[in-house]
Amino acid sequence: MTDPILPIIKSEGETHYLAGSRCGACGQIFVGERDVCAKCTARGQMAAIRLAETGSLYAYTVVERSFPGVAVPFIDAVVDLDDGAHLKGTLMGVDPNPDTIRFGMKVKIAWREAVPVGADKPYLTYVFVPQEGEAA
Amino acid sequence: MSHVYVVGIDMIRFGRYPDRTVPSLAAEAALMALDDAGLTLKDMQALYCGNLGQASGMVGQRMLAEIGQTAIPVTNVANACATGATAFRGAWMSIKAGVYDTVLAVGVEQMGKGLLGGGGGVSPEGLVGSYTMPAMFAHIGMEHSQKYGTTFAQFAQVSVKNHHHSTLNPKSMYRKETPLEEVMGSEMIAYPNTKLMCSVNVDGSAAAVLMSEKKVKQLGLMDRAVRIRASEMSSNPYEERQAAMPDFSGATRVAAKRVYEQAGLGAEDINLVELHDCFATAELVHYENLGLCADGEAGRLIDDGTTALGGRVPVNVSGGLLSKGHPLGATGIANIYEVATHLRGKAGARQVEGARIGMTHVVGGGPGMGTACAIHILEKV
Ligand SMILES: [Zn+2]
């Protein structure tokens, strides 16, 4: 069993998913597990959910210089998931060229194993990839 | 209620001082500010000291060990890029509350080169996007591009402007013109921020002597005084995307609204601004956050020279964090030094003519941490 790179990454058998929370008082969806709502301050209203695995590209940058040992370039993306959550991650399967990356492009979650900087073994991570029909 | 005044303020020239200590850099600025006020440490009733790198290291007390252990209360402050301004505001509040009449505020930082953060342990960097500061602030610029079509060249022009301003400031780390082609052609760090669009990590210190109105009049110091018309702070309000992209706009908008209300002024009354241009992308976004223009008009402001020296509301005439440098804990008070110097009519070649009201803004934070924002409005006496 490969360890997840972040605690929001959960596995059930061979199926992986991202943990989220929904506030029963205001309806806000959060990435990760939590007890109190940061938006409306309601307590004891959070329900655990699995986050949506599709969304659209809200903002991005092409990272050309990172911390020592990290492979560049890569696309650091902010994605609006279709359930209303907002998730940061690496966008793959797209040329890292700002002239061709389109705001709003449809993406989906994919699962990868990769060796992060500072580690000597692979970890389970999520990435964004274009949905079928999106120009890659 | 009576106002609080700055009667002495100064900063060391920002640069790299690897052979110095943090307390010695702080002490140098403190003595300069005392000299500017014509006072001594024995006149100070309290010290607020801002520093990030040695936040648990009692920097204020160690500074006093170098220049005089007068047993005054010391409050050491750490609050991201708002550290220095938070120390200044602490001093302001203590006088406003009537506890003291004369208080010293110091901000200081000694920094390494290169990207902040990183280092140590297994990191999700690259696997789950980026946690670098340039990438965070690139997102803010790209969000503006997505909404309003702001271009790479418009962001780069901010850096051209601020580097030009710094050629007129002897206390700036860099004092070199950087034409647009050079800014756009320098090493890309995180699109659209190139290396010349990232603030400079430098060492620095700045200090201010704050005084009650009663005491200023009693000592006859009004001729050198600058009025603190308003002081405000904020932390980040709830913003939907803040876990994915740290939010610096929401906090700035909240603090700006509060500070204009406290001052009884509007953005149209401001004659110059020192704002938090930690990256070129940030400056344009803050034009709108501070109300210098309507949402979506920041690109026009940089295009038509409104925010250049000689324009309607010059921004970062000191050279800004981009060229003057950004010693985190010192930046907030250095901004106040710049504006106060213009209000005193002593800014030399970069003087904003007729400046009566100026604004300083700092905002900082990081991924998974939240935001601290401080805004001050200063007024010529
Ligand atoms: Zn809620």
ipTM: 0.93
Q: Indicate if B81 belongs to the active site.
A: yes
Predicted confidence band of residue B168 (pLDDT cuts 50, 70, 90): very high
Q: State whether A76 and A28 are in the same domain.
A: no
Residues in contact with A66: Cβ distance below 8 Å, sequence separation at least 6, in sequence order: A72, A74, B115, B118, B125, B126, B130, B132
The one catalytic residue in B144, B276, B326, B342 is: B326
Q: What is each CA distance from A126 to A8, A11, A20, B2, in whole angstroms?
A: 10, 12, 14, 57
Is B130 in the A-facing interface, judged by CB distances under 8 Å? yes
Number of Cβ within a 10 Å radius of residue A53: 18
Degrees to nearest 5, angle at CA B79 with B74 and B80: 135
Confirm whether A25 is domain-assigned. yes
Q: What is the pTM of this model?
A: 0.96
Averaged pLDDT for residues B117-129: 84
Q: Is A43 on the interface with B (CB under 8 A)?
A: no
Predicted pLDDT at B66: 96
Q: Where in chain B is the domain with CATH 3.40.47.10?
A: 4-113+202-226, 133-197+230-380
B317: pLDDT strictly greater than 70: yes
What is the C-alpha to C-alpha distance for residues B306 and B286, in angstroms, rounded to an integer?
A: 14
B293 phi, psi to nearest 5 deg: -155, 170
The reply to whether A122 falls in a domain is yes
Are A38 and A73 found together in one domain? Answer: no
Q: What is the pLDDT of residue B377?
A: 98
- Nearest residue of chain A to residue B194 (CA atoms): A64
Q: In this complex, do B132 and A67 lie within 8 Å of one another by their Cβ atoms? A: yes
Q: Residue A30 falls within a domain, yes or no?
A: yes
Hey, is the C-beta of B265 within 8 angstroms of any chain A C-beta? Answer: no
How many CA atoms lie within 13 Å of B294's alpha carbon, on the beta-carbon side? Answer: 1
Task: Say if residue A94 is in the same domain as residue A74.
Answer: yes
Check if the beta carbon of residue B273 is closer than 8 Å to that of residue B292.
yes
Give the model confidence (pLDDT) of B70-101 as tens digits.
999 999 999 999 999 999 999 999 999 999 99
Q: Chain B contacts of A77, Cβ < 8 Å?
A: 129
Ranges under pLDDT 70 in chain A: 135-136
Q: What is the pLDDT of residues B239-289, one digit of tens each?
A: 999 989 999 999 999 999 999 999 999 999 999 999 999 999 999 999 999
pLDDT, averaged across chain B? 96
Mutation site for B-interface testing, chosen from A3, A31, A34, A61 by largest number of B Cβ within 10 Å: A61
List strand residue ranges (DSSP E) for A32-93, in order: 46-50, 54-63, 74-81, 86-91
Within a domain: residue A3? no
Per-residue confidence (pLDDT) for residue B119, from 0 to 100: 61
Contacts of A59 in chain B (CB under 8 A): 139, 142-143, 146, 245
Q: Does B369 touch chain A (CB under 8 A)?
A: no
Q: What is the largest CA-CA distance in chain B?
A: 62
Contact criterion met (CB below 8 Å) for B273 and B315: yes
d(Cα B122, Cα B152) in Å, to the nearest integer? 33
Residue B341 has pLDDT above 90, yes or no: yes
**B370 strand-pairing partners:** B366
Rounded Cα distance, B274 and B358, in Å = 8
Domain hosting residue A41, numbered range: 9-50
Radius of gyration for chain B, computed over Cα atoms and rounded to the nearest angstrom:
19
Rounded percentage of chain B residues whose pLDDT exceeds 70 = 98
Mutate to test the interface with A, among B142, B147, B194 (most CBs of A within 10 A): B142
pLDDT of residue A134: 84
Please report the pLDDT score of residue B202 as a whole number.
Answer: 96
| CA-wise closest residue to B338 among B365, B311, B309, B363 | B309
Q: Provide mean pLDDT across the span B284-299.
A: 98
Measured CA to CA, the distance from residue A58 to residue B287 in angstroms comes to 22
pLDDT attached to residue A1: 77
Q: How many domains does chain A have?
A: 2
Judgement on whether residues A86 and A63 belong to the same structural domain of the protein: yes
For residues A62 and A122, membership in a common domain is answered with yes
Assigned architecture for domain B133-197+230-380: 3-Layer(aba) Sandwich (3.40)
Q: Decide if B187 and A65 are in contact by the 8 Å CB cutoff.
A: yes
Q: What is the pLDDT, as a whole number, of residue B117?
A: 66
* Domain identity same for A34 and A82: no
pLDDT for B67 equals: 97
Query: First vs last Cα of chain B: how many Å apart?
Result: 17
Whether A32 maps to a domain, the answer reads yes
Q: Which superfamily does B4-113+202-226 belong to?
A: Thiolase/Chalcone synthase (3.40.47.10)
Structure confidence by residue, pLDDT tens digits, B33-78: 999 999 999 999 999 999 999 999 999 999 999 999 999 999 999 9
The residue in chain B having the minimum alpha-carbon distance to the alpha carbon of residue A118 is B122
- Clarify whether B373 is annotated catalytic: no
What average pLDDT score do residues B218-224 get?
97
Are residues A64 and A114 part of one domain? yes
Query: Would you call B128 and A89 a contact, using CB atoms and an 8 Å cutoff?
Result: yes
Gap between the Cα atoms of B205 and B25, Å rounded? 6
Q: How far apart are CA B11 and CA A128, in angstroms?
A: 47
A77, A82, A30, A83: which is closest to A58 by C-alpha?
A: A77
Catalytic option among B49, B81, B198, B293:
B81
Q: Are residues A63 and A118 in the same domain?
A: yes
Q: Residue B80, Cα to own-chain centre: how many angstroms?
A: 11
Q: Which pLDDT belongs to residue A136?
A: 55
Query: CB-CB: which of B127, B143, B240 is closest to A125?
Result: B127
Measured between CB atoms, does B245 come within 8 Å of chain A? yes
Ligand 1 geometric centre to CA of A37 (Å): 5
B146 contacts in chain A (CB < 8 Å): 58-59, 103
pLDDT for B120? 66
